[in-house]
């Protein structure tokens, strides 16, 4: 099937830069957790790099996303600064949320990360509201709701898609189908062959796309985003992918067929796209290596800064509960 | 219904007062938007007409009848609120907040804190409840104690048309999520019309009637019977100070404690089930703060520990009324 | 389209008997409310008589239904005794629920009315549980969940259909599409052309049927019930119909086009089916009149008994909260 | 994890004790069924292994991993319960009960009453929560006060492996809906193994340690620190009576009041947010019943009025611990 939209060279490199950023950030996250230097509950997005990278190059800084606990890739692709992110992961006062939110609740409105949620399905109804504001103001903004395949069975999914469809909201629902919800396989819990098919219930476009293929993902994203921006309403995108490191980092993954994971890892989208860029003359090994090294350095600096940064004062418990500080 | 009330000696009922507040809020700030089931004018502006005229005047872009999807309703309010709108979302009855609790509790209440103050959720959730209309077990519950137990939510319950007007405007203009609880019986009771432009501050209780012997703390539908009790007891030379809490979270400790420090006796009354209700918190704090000054233990009035019954005599017995409140007040003075 | 199943004469007459029972019961309900003798909040099912009548003749006494506030027709069709029903409506101690439940919560397990709910969408997940018990026990029972078109937009609908499909539960989801949810038109809130189409999201059969046509309704019901009983899983039936008396009795119905209601009433399914029975030689005017008179008398007796019955004692507030009585 | 604990001097942890109870219940009564997210063995028998082995032993007809659909999970439990099964449904964390509140509150809690006793809902909803694991604002809340405010629900919170075993079996065998709240930190703490077959009755508190000066009322994760406080204070010649409530609704007034009538001082402590928490009800009742006998006002301990914070020092400050409890006890004796 031909693609309606193909990214130009700069965009291709931008997608790759985001992908390597996500991949390296994940590697360094797992290492730092194992080192004990920054302990955290971590939901690795490794393997899912392509999806938000190919989407975000189609978004403006003023467009917003609502994402989930497994969302570092979505945040980084949207542009959350590494220093602010890492300081938050470390629970420091210099973090995006002054250390009060933590990994599951990263928020950074300046780069369009409005909500990160730990409740399955809840990113969708909230993204609707963000899109509703854009619709009322006529500001041309779009909102993206990220969620997993498991989330497609919860009530909020249904309510959100129906409302978005009825009101033609400028929102894109992106299901990152990594074949598992925690330890449970997609087929065991989901009566639809494809999540994308559920779009028919709301008479909106639903597309299943190879979420590990940057070109296909870019095309699906641009089509949906253009459509939303033009006022033609929401799209449901089901991006097929795989989690390399189980549900939560540290999982034994005994619920998974060993071959399944090995096959997915062998087909790692990041080196695959790297090779494609070189093979197709978009870049060279040397240039990409230089980019990767620069990205790695930036991450290391962010981690160091996070470790060095101060913890918040306990008086913070009385701040941001309400606009007014709670009396001591 | 409303017109009849208005012509009767210039009084307005709570439906009309709420409608005035919504009109004023939408007129003043284009970020105010309204949605909920049946709220637009083609659907009669709400099942009792609170939102009447809004969609005609401000358009169906800003005033929308929604699907029956309470999670999506509150979610849409939260999302729009984060980016600067001031949504007023209606959940028709308080029992239906149960299907939207995740949105209210895990998100609306917490986003300001979890984002370290980068975002906030300036939304108002209007809902209604109350026994006395024979609707049985699933349409008349009070959950204000739940919401008060959730840090980050403001909980407000008006006791009259003018109070409803002034408090609703304050909720809409407040930068935090407010749960605004209307009473289905009070909807139709006529009262003094609000003075246009008035705001009643959140978090401040109202000493409606001064007295020296007992402080009677109440809110919402229990304000009128509390005043009736104070009236009746004044005949017996018992002077009751009546405080309308107005805001249940965060509640006005200073006003309540100052009053009880004076009277040295207190009763707290509400229509919600008594065990684990709002009265428990207020009673506890009064005891904690004023123990040695109290002449008697604080008494609580609330509905018995039962679902709301249907049959009229059961429903009547279930609803705490003037007699129950009076008995509690008398108990604090050993009569 | 040919019908797979046609009712025999006795079944046809049984369907009509249920229909006239529902219609007359509704007429007498509205009259008694207006008389002030039995005040109640009443959601008239008038116009929707065919649906549960044609379904219930396919159900056994041991099969169960979960229905909603607008459910008197479902209850009567399933066999709730008039005396018990009316005593409950009047809040009397002789009622199905000792007067504690009321019109929105009629329960009568002996005739298979397990739950009547006032919360939109809630009949579906509970019916699943009833069906689950039958599946585990292998008792061949089926469960029916009744609900309205408006309920098809709430989260519980989605969760329930998905779970029922994944687990192949013996449950039939019957959406009585009367074109309105309270004051709001179907199209204004529902992004699906037909509720029945939403069955595709769960890979289960979904059929839209003329809910005012007893033969079509019977056929759809029998197909679904046979399927469920055979262990082949759930079906979603969308039965098209109309409410003659608005959302709640007393509504001004200003949200409705006057012609719409008039047309529906002119097409009243009850006299239509009556005429069809006569025209097709299944019965005579005289026989049907006799049946109608008998039914009317039964209702009158039930109402009289209800009015005469005693109210429950207030001590009932302490009973049935838990198995153990609450101490006074 | 469990095996390590078991080999360590015969102790078992709460995960193992719960697993034993579930095995016993399923073995004994074929109406006991278990479902929830990931609970079957192909999914590792639950994320921490509480349901391990059940599906292998009793089959996937009776033990099922569900979709992520909490309304459908609780709905299925209710429906099956009405027709005589004894479902044990798992809602992975207490914050996720918010998406199932309608099913729990409007249906499970009320069907016995609304049906006039014709049906009842003998289900157990297992859930877990607790701060201390760095999971932030949406995974560590305590809502036991909400459920206790709903007539018709029993609320149980175990404090040790043996308690968990005996209380869970009682919940499963009880004819009313029980909310069984496990603590995520206690899951891994080893304790004395339960005696097989033991039942701990619902609605009865446990006087774990006798004392004369102050009654310290606690439950769940606050039992261990309460005992530690009692130990520490015994060095200072202060004799603390410690009561584990076990059941929060309906709670054991008789035992609590008898103890406080003796000690004439009381403290109630929990990890939930203090305002409008369980402590408020218990404190109020003690004051109401024993006012003139009390030597000091009842003190309450609970988390501050804030969402659960992420950053470690904030989380530590948020969780009330031994020092806070001790200070509250000392406050009742003016030290
Ligand atoms: C309402 C709710 N139920 C259960 C959970 C526990 N939980 C966290 S992640 C998860 C699996 C989600 O799977 P999926 O949507 O596929 O996303 P993925 O983790 O695979 O990215 C579950 C069940 C939750 N967070 N919220
Ligand atoms: C969760 C919930 N939200 C809102 C309501 C208020 N309400 C009662 S009936 C109704 C309309 C339902 O429409 P539909 O499902 O089409 O059923 P019908 O009344 O037409 O038979 C609404 C919104 C409710 N009972 N429950
Ligand atoms: Mg997944
Ligand atoms: Mg309808």
- Secondary structure, 3-state, chain D: CHHHHHHCCCCECHHHHHHHHHHHHHHHCCCEEEEECCCCHHHCCCCCCCCCCHHHHHCCCCEEECCCCHHHHHHHHHHHHHCCCEEEEEECCHHHHHHHHHHHHHHHCCHHHHCCCCCCCCCEEEEEECCCCCCCCCCCCCCHHHHHCCCCCEEECCCCHHHHHHHHHHHHHCCCCEEEEEECCHHHCCECCCCCCCCCCCCCCEEEECCCCEEEEECHHHHHHHHHHHHHHHHCCCCEEEEECCEEECCCHHHHHHHHHHHCCEEEEEEEECCCCHHHHHHHHHHHHHHHHCCCCCEEEEECCCCCCCCHHHHHHHCCCHHHHHHHHHHHCCC
- Which subunits sit against A, judged by 3+ Cβ pairs under 8 A? B, C, D
Q: What is the ipTM of this complex?
A: 0.98
Residue A280 at interface with chain D, using a CB cutoff of 8 Å:
no
Residue B334 has a pLDDT of 85
Residue A102 at interface with chain D, using a CB cutoff of 8 Å:
yes
Residue C153 at interface with chain B, using a CB cutoff of 8 Å:
yes
Distance CA A306, CA C14 (A): 76
Å from CA of C185 to ligand 4 middle: 8
Nearest CA residue ID for atom 12, ligand 1: A181
SS3 content of chain A, % helix, strand, coil (to 5): 50, 10, 40
Q: Is the pLDDT of residue B106 over 70?
A: yes
Distance CA D16, CA D1 (A): 10
Residue C253 has a pLDDT of 85
Out of B151, B152, B280, the one facing D281 most closely (by C-beta) is B280
Å from CA of D143 to ligand 2 middle: 28
Q: Which residue has the tokens 């003796």?
A: D262
Residues in chain C within 8 Å Cβ distance of B99? 119, 121, 154-156
Identify the H or E element spanning C63: none
Residues in chain A within 8 Å Cβ distance of D138? 104-105, 117-119
Residue D9 has a pLDDT of 62
Q: How far is CA B109 from the centre of its chain?
A: 18
**Any bridge partners for residue C146, and if so which?**
C174
Residue B34 has a pLDDT of 98
Residue A191 has a pLDDT of 98
Q: Is the pLDDT of residue A294 over 80?
A: yes
Nearest CA residue ID for atom 25, ligand 2: C119
- Which subunits sit against C, judged by 3+ Cβ pairs under 8 A? A, B, D
Judged by DSSP in three states, A54 sits in helix
Per-chain mean pLDDT for chain D: 96
Å from CA of D94 to ligand 4 middle: 34
| C-beta separation of C20 from C295 below 8 A | yes
Q: Buried b / exposed e across A152-174, counting CB within 10 Å, b at 16+?
A: bbbbbbbbbbbbbbbbbbbbbbb
Å from CA of D212 to ligand 1 middle: 49
Write the CA distances from A64 to A15, A143, A161, B73, integer angstroms. Answer: 18, 5, 17, 19
Q: Is the pLDDT of residue C197 over 70?
A: yes
Choose from C93, C126, C137 for mutation: most chain D CBs within 10 A: C126
Which of A7, A15, A16, A12 lies closest to A222, judged by CA? A7
| Bond preceding residue D250 cis, omega within 30 of 0 | yes
**Any bridge partners for residue B214, and if so which?**
B240
The residues of B annotated with a catalytic role in the active site are 70, 139
Distance CA B186, CA D78 (A): 35
User: Which atom number of ligand 1 is nearest to the Cα of residue A45?
Assistant: 21
| C-beta separation of A19 from A50 below 8 A | yes
Q: Is the pLDDT of residue B79 over 90?
A: yes
Grade residue A1 by pLDDT with cuts at 50, 70 and 90: low
Distance CA A217, CA C53 (A): 51
Residues in chain D within 8 Å Cβ distance of B287? 283-284, 287, 297-298
- DSSP letter for B43, please: G
Residue A124 at interface with chain B, using a CB cutoff of 8 Å:
yes
Distance CA B332, CA B325 (A): 11
Which of D139, D144, D270, D315 is an active site residue?
D139
pLDDT digits (tens, 9 = 90+) for B118-132: 999 999 999 999 999
Is the Cβ atom of C102 under 6 angstroms away from ligand 2?
Answer: no
Q: Is the pLDDT of residue D4 over 60?
A: no
Nearest CA residue ID for atom 18, ligand 1: A148
Residue C252 has a pLDDT of 82
Out of D75, D85, D151, the one facing C321 most closely (by C-beta) is D151
Q: Buried b / exposed e across A185-213, counting CB within 10 Å, b at 16+?
A: bbebbbbbebbbbbbbbbbbbbbbbebbb
Residues in chain D within 8 Å Cβ distance of B101? 98-99, 101
Q: Within 13 Å, how many C-alpha atoms sit on residue D230's CB side?
A: 26
Residue B306 has a pLDDT of 98
The pick from A150, A153, A239 for probing ligand 1's pocket by mutation, whose C-beta has the most ligand atoms within 8 angstroms, reads A150
Which of C132, C130, C100 lies closest to C115, judged by CA? C130
Residue D214 has a pLDDT of 98
Residue C1 has a pLDDT of 54
Query: Which residues hold their Cβ within 5 A of ligand 4, which is an ion?
Result: C 148-150, 178, 180-181
Identify the H or E element spanning B179: strand B178-183
Judged by DSSP in three states, B58 sits in helix
Distance CA C298, CA C286 (A): 18
B9 or D322: which leads in pLDDT = D322
Distance CA D285, CA B280 (A): 8
**Any bridge partners for residue A117, and if so which?**
A68
| C-beta separation of D82 from C129 below 8 A | yes
User: Which atom number of ligand 1 is nearest to the Cα of residue A186?
Assistant: 16
Catalytic annotation present for D139: yes
| C-beta separation of A252 from A49 below 8 A | no
Nearest ligand (C-alpha, residue D99): 1
Q: How far is A203 from chain B (nearest CA, A)?
A: 15
Q: Is the pLDDT of residue D7 over 80?
A: no
| C-beta separation of C102 from C138 below 8 A | no
Nearest CA residue ID for atom 8, ligand 2: C120
Q: Is the pLDDT of residue B83 over 60?
A: yes
Please, is B188 exposed, middle or buried when counting C-beta atoms within 10 Å of its C-beta (0-12, 13-18, 19+)? middle
State which residue of chain C sits closest to D249, comparing Cα positions. C322
Residue A55 at interface with chain D, using a CB cutoff of 8 Å:
no
Residue A257 has a pLDDT of 85
Cβ-Cβ pairs closer than 8 A, C with D, add up to: 151
pLDDT digits (tens, 9 = 90+) for A68-101: 999 999 999 999 999 999 999 999 999 999 999 9
Domains and CATH numbers, chain C: 9-63+121-306 (3.40.50.970)
Question: Which tokens belong to C105?
Answer: 């919560």
Mean pLDDT of B208-221: 98
pLDDT digits (tens, 9 = 90+) for C291-307: 999 999 999 999 999 99
| Bond preceding residue B250 cis, omega within 30 of 0 | yes
Is the Cβ atom of B139 under 6 angstroms away from ligand 2?
Answer: no
Domain D206-334 falls under CATH 3.40.50.920: yes
- Judge: B154–A322 Cβ closer than 8 Å, yes or no: yes
Å from CA of B92 to ligand 2 middle: 10
pLDDT digits (tens, 9 = 90+) for A243-288: 999 999 998 888 998 899 999 999 999 999 999 999 999 999 999 9
Per-chain mean pLDDT for chain B: 96
Which of D70, D144, D182, D241 is an active site residue?
D70
- Judge: B134–C39 Cβ closer than 8 Å, yes or no: yes
Q: Is the pTM of this model over 0.80?
A: yes
pLDDT digits (tens, 9 = 90+) for C217-266: 999 999 999 999 999 999 999 999 999 999 999 988 889 988 999 999 99
Distance CA D41, CA D35 (A): 12
Q: Kindly report the number of other CB atoms within 10 A of residue B261's CB atom.
A: 14
Catalytic annotation present for D163: no
Q: Is the pLDDT of residue A310 over 80?
A: yes
Grade residue B9 by pLDDT with cuts at 50, 70 and 90: low
* Domain boundaries along the sequence of chain B: 2-188, 206-334
Quickly list DSSP for B61-127. Answer: TTEEE--S-HHHHHHHHHHHHHTT-EEEEEESSGGGGGGGHIIIIIIITTHHHHTTTS-----EEEE
Judged by DSSP in three states, C12 sits in helix
Question: What CATH code would you report for D2-188?
Answer: 3.40.50.970
Å from CA of A178 to ligand 3 middle: 5
Residue A317 at interface with chain D, using a CB cutoff of 8 Å:
yes
B206-334 shares the fold of B2-188: yes
Identify the H or E element spanning A63: none
pLDDT digits (tens, 9 = 90+) for D213-256: 999 999 999 999 999 999 999 999 999 999 999 999 999 999 99
Mean pLDDT of B185-192: 97
């Amino acid at each position: 099937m031909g693609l309606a939209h193909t990214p130009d060279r700069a965009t291709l490199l931008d997608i790759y830069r985001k992908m390597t950023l996500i991949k390296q950030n994940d590697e360094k996250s797992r290492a730092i957790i194992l080192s004990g230097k920054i302990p955290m509950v971590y939901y690795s997005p490794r393997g899912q790099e392509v999806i938000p990278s190919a989407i975000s190059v189609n978004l403006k800084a003023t467009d917003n996303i609502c994402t989930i606990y497994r969302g570092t890739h979505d945040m980084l692709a949207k542009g959350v600064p590494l220093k602010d992110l890492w300081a938050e992961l470390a629970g420091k006062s210099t973090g995006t949320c002054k250390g009060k939110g933590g990994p599951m609740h990263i928020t950074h409105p300046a780069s369009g990360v409005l909500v990160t949620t730990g409740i399955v399905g809840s990113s969708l109804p909230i993204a609707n509201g963000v899109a509703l504001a854009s619709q009322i103001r006529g500001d041309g903004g779009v909102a993206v709701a990220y969620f997993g395949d498991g989330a497609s069975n919860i009530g909020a999914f249904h309510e959100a898609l129906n409302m978005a469809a009825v009101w033609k909201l400028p929102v894109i629902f992106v299901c990152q189908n990594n074949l598992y919800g925690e330890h449970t396989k997609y087929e065991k819990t989901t009566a639809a062959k494809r999540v994308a098919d559920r779009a028919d219930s709301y008479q909106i476009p639903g597309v299943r796309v190879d979420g590990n293929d940057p070109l296909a993902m870019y095309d699906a994203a641009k089509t949906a985003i253009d459509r939303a921006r033009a006022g033609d309403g929401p799209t449901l995108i089901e991006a097929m992918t795989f989690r390399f490191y189980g549900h939560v980092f540290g999982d034994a993954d005994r619920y998974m067929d060993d071959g399944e994971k090995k096959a997915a890892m062998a087909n790692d989208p990041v080196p695959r796209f790297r090779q494609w860029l070189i093979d197709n003359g978009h870049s060279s090994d040397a240039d990409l290596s230089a980019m990767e090294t620069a990205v790695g350095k930036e991450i290391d600096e962010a981690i160091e800064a996070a470790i060095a940064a101060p913890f918040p004062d306990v008086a913070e418990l009385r701040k941001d509960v309400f606009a007014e500080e709670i009396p001591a | 219904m409303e017109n009849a009330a208005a012509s009767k000696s210039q009084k307005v009922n709570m439906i009309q007062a709420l409608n005035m507040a919504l009109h004023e809020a939408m007129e003043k700030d284009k970020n105010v938007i309204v949605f909920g089931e049946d709220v637009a004018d083609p659907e009669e502006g709400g099942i009792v007409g609170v939102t009447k005229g809004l969609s005609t005047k401000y358009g169906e872009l800003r005033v929308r009848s929604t699907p029956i999807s309470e999670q999506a309703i509150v979610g849409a309010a939260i999302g729009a609120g984060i980016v600067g709108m001031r949504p007023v979302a209606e959940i028709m009855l308080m029992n239906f907040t149960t299907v939207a609790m995740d949105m209210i509790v895990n998100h609306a209440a917490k986003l300001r804190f979890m984002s370290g103050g980068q975002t906030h959720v300036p939304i108002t959730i209007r809902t209604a409840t109350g026994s006395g209309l024979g609707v049985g077990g699933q349409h008349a519950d009070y959950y204000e104690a739940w919401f008060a137990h959730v840090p980050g939510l403001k909980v407000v319950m008006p006791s009259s048309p003018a109070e409803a007007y002034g408090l609703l405007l304050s909720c809409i203009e407040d930068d935090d999520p407010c749960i605004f609880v209307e009473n289905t019986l009070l909807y139709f009771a006529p009262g003094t019309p609000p003075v246009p432009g008035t705001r009643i501050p959140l978090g401040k209780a109202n000493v409606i009637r001064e007295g020296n012997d007992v402080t009677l703390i109440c809110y919402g539908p229990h304000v009128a019977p509390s005043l009736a009790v104070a009236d009746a007891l004044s005949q017996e030379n018992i002077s009751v100070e009546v405080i309308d809490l107005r805001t249940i979270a965060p509640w006005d400790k200073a006003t309540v404690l100052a009053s009880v420090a004076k009277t040295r006796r207190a009763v707290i009354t509400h229509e919600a089930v008594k065990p684990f209700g709002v009265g428990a918190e207020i009673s506890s704090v009064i005891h904690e703060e004023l123990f040695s000054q109290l002449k008697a233990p604080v008494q609580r009035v609330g509905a018995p520990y039962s679902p709301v019954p249907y049959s009229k005599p059961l429903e009547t017995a279930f609803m705490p009324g003037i007699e129950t409140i009076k008995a509690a007040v008398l108990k604090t003075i050993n009569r």
